[in-house]
Amino acid sequence: MQVSKEQILHIANLARLNLKEDEVEEYLKNLDEILNFANIINNAPTEDLGITIGSNEEKNVFRKDEVKIFEDRDALLENAPSKENNMFKVPKII
């Protein structure tokens, strides 16, 4: 096993996911299989190669500093599960 139970619980926590006991087992197995397969990239001859972040070469793409008002602001709050005074409501943060 490449990944420990402790690790996967830590990862799930970072991703804000709860895992049930059977899910832990299943994901551990899946993650292990997939990483084992993914390890083949270690054989790839990448010495002296830079990284590629995206496949197109657009650079220096900027926007003018001009105000455009988004007209339908109400629609941005319409899907909120909980709101008050036009704000999104969440449990109190200490």
Partner 1 sequence: MNITELTVHELQEKLKNKELTISEITKAYVDRINEKEKDVQAFVTTLTEEATKQSEEIEEKINSGEIKGEFAGIPIGIKDNMCTKGVKTTCSSKMLENFIAPYDATAVKKINEENIINLGKLNMDEFAMGGSTEHSYFHKTYNPWNLNKVPGGSSGGSAAAVAANMVPWALGSDTGGSIRQPASFCGVVGLKPTYGLVSRYGLVAFASSLDQIGPITKDVRDSAMLLNIITGHDEMDTTSANIEKKDYTKALKKDVKGMKIGVPKEFYGEGVQPEVEEKIKAALEEYKKLGAEIVEISLDVAEYSLATYYIIACAEASSNLGRFDGVRYTHRAKDYNGLWDLYKKSRSEAFGDEVKRRIILGTYVLSSGYYDAYYKKAQQVRTLVMNKFNEAFGKCDVIITPTSPTTAFDIGGKLNDPLSMYKADICTVSVNITGLPGISVPCGVDNDGMPIGMQIIGNRFEEEKILNAAYAYEQVEKFRENHKPTFKK
Partner 2 sequence: MSREDYEAVIGLEVHAELSTKTKIFCSCANEFGGEPNTNICPVCTAMPGALPVLNEKVVEYAVKAGLATNCSISKDSKNDRKNYFYPDTPKAYQISQYDKPLCENGHVEIETSDGNKKVIRIERIHIEDDAGKLNHDDFGGESLVDLNRAGVPLIETVSKPDMRSAEEAEQYLRKLKSIFEYIEVSDCKMQEGSLRADVNVSVRKKGDPLGTRTEMKNMNSFRSIVRAINYEIERQIDLIEDGRTGRARKLKVG
Select from 6, 21, 51, 67 the one that contacts partner 1 (CB under 8 A). 51
Out of 6, 21, 22, 58, the residue judged to bind partner 1 by CB under 8 A: 58
Q: If contact means CB under 5 to 8 A according to the sort of partner, which of partner 2, partner 1, none does residue 18 touch? A: partner 1
Interface positions, 34-93, toward partner 2 (CB under 8 A): 53, 61-70, 73, 76-77, 84-93
Q: Is 20 in the site for partner 2 (CB under 8 A)?
A: no
The token duo for 71 is 């007209």
Q: Are 24 and 9 in contact (CB under 8 A)?
A: yes
Q: Angle, to 10 degrees, between the axis of helix 21-38 and the axis of helix 5-14?
A: 100
In this structure, what are the phi and psi dihedrals at residue 84, rounded to the nearest 5 degrees?
-155, 140
